[in-house]
Amino acid sequence: MPATTYLDHAATSPVLPCVVEAVTHQLGQVGNASSLHATGRAARRVVEESREQIADALGARPSEVIFTSGGTESDNLAVKGSFWARRAEDRRRDRLIIGAIEHHAVLDCVEYLVRHEGAQVSWITVDEQGRADPQQVRDLIEEDPESVALVSLMWANNEVGTVEPVHEVAQVAHEHGIPFHTDAVQAIGQLPVDFAASGADLLSLTGHKFGAPLGVGALLTRRDATLVPLTHGGGQERQLRSGTLVVPAIRGLAVATTYATEHLESEQDHLVVLRDKMIQGAIDQGFDIRVNGPHQVGDVTHRLAGNVHLRVPGCDGDSLLYLLDAAGVECSTGSACQAGVPQPSHVLLAMGVPEEDARGALRLTLGHTSTDADVTAFLAALPAAVERAQRAHDTTRGGS
């Protein structure tokens, strides 16, 4: 079996050695951070020091850091919690303004609120590069400002890597007194993220995308933001997120966040070279491969430094994935599976990519363990995988 080349860091990234050390140490300690005795107070001290560390790294106040189990819970708390709180204040506020290419952790929240809570939705469309227009957000708000409960737009897209104008959209929302949420799950560690400077009222993040363990994240929440909690119990985390705090994971999240921000510039420099080599190498192989999303050599402002999203004509992304996997290259596609049937990416469709072309999407994402050898391995495995996938595609179409 060939050695594994891991190119799926946007799904999850390996835990950093310094994080393993910190988590391992904390796992050897006992204590519930809500207990009042000495052992409990020691655990609480670790939690609060970690909270301060994360806040310092991300331009927030410690009181604005609400620990969660990860990005999905943070998005749910932000979207549902804001909707319920704002509608409770004013029954007219039943409209959400949401990015069309959000992660399903946001989209499925919205679908739930539409089906079960009578929410209305206005969608923020994107151009062919996957970028939203702040002017459209303004136009959507001004259709009926008093009806809007929340505006939500992700910081960077998880599929095609497009960086969105979150600061400008936050300004537009605030001009009308509307809270703004951003899903920054893919941004931490690849882009400068400053909560205060961004203008966001709510910001979701998860640790396993940048070297922390699975199962821990945070929702950065301004003190004046009003939310209805999803869970009830002990009232931990400002009464917004009940549940016993997982001290070792929180410690790991703090160490990873500090590492990611301190090494941001060097990591960008490292990843963008690999990214550009991978993109150009794939294009040079002569299969009419296209790049999805914005791309200029060396650019880390409009596209994530570690994101490569390709469209390969005449084949299915799932076939490419399995063939590359068999060759030892692990990546992902831009498709989703619904009821056992592969569906083209909603992100690519929103960008105007024809459905047939969208089915041939391939996402390769780089991270802190990525090397030049990974790029070489992918480019070596790609031609045979494409040729076989195209033959299988032609056979399927010919027999249908």
* Residues taking part in catalysis: 337
The span from the CA of 295 to the CA of 303, in Å, is 7
The span from the CA of 314 to the CA of 61, in Å, is 51
Helix (H, G, I), strand (E, B) or coil at 166: helix
Contact assessment for residue 209 and residue 187, using Cβ atoms and an 8 Å cutoff:
no
The span from the CA of 349 to the CA of 236, in Å, is 41
Beta strands in 137-281 (DSSP E): 148-152, 180-183, 202-206, 217-221
Contact assessment for residue 124 and residue 98, using Cβ atoms and an 8 Å cutoff:
yes
Beta strands in 125-260 (DSSP E): 148-152, 180-183, 202-206, 217-221
Helix (H, G, I), strand (E, B) or coil at 338: strand
- For the chain, report the end-to-end CA distance as a whole number of angstroms: 34
- Residue 4, C-beta contacts closer than 8 angstroms, at least 6 positions apart: 328, 330
- 380-383 own/partner pairs: CB under 8 Å, 24+ apart: 381/324, 381/327, 381/328, 381/329, 382/282, 382/285, 382/324, 383/285, 383/287
DSSP 8-state code for residue 224: T
Closest C-alpha to 134, from 153, 160, 158, 156: 153
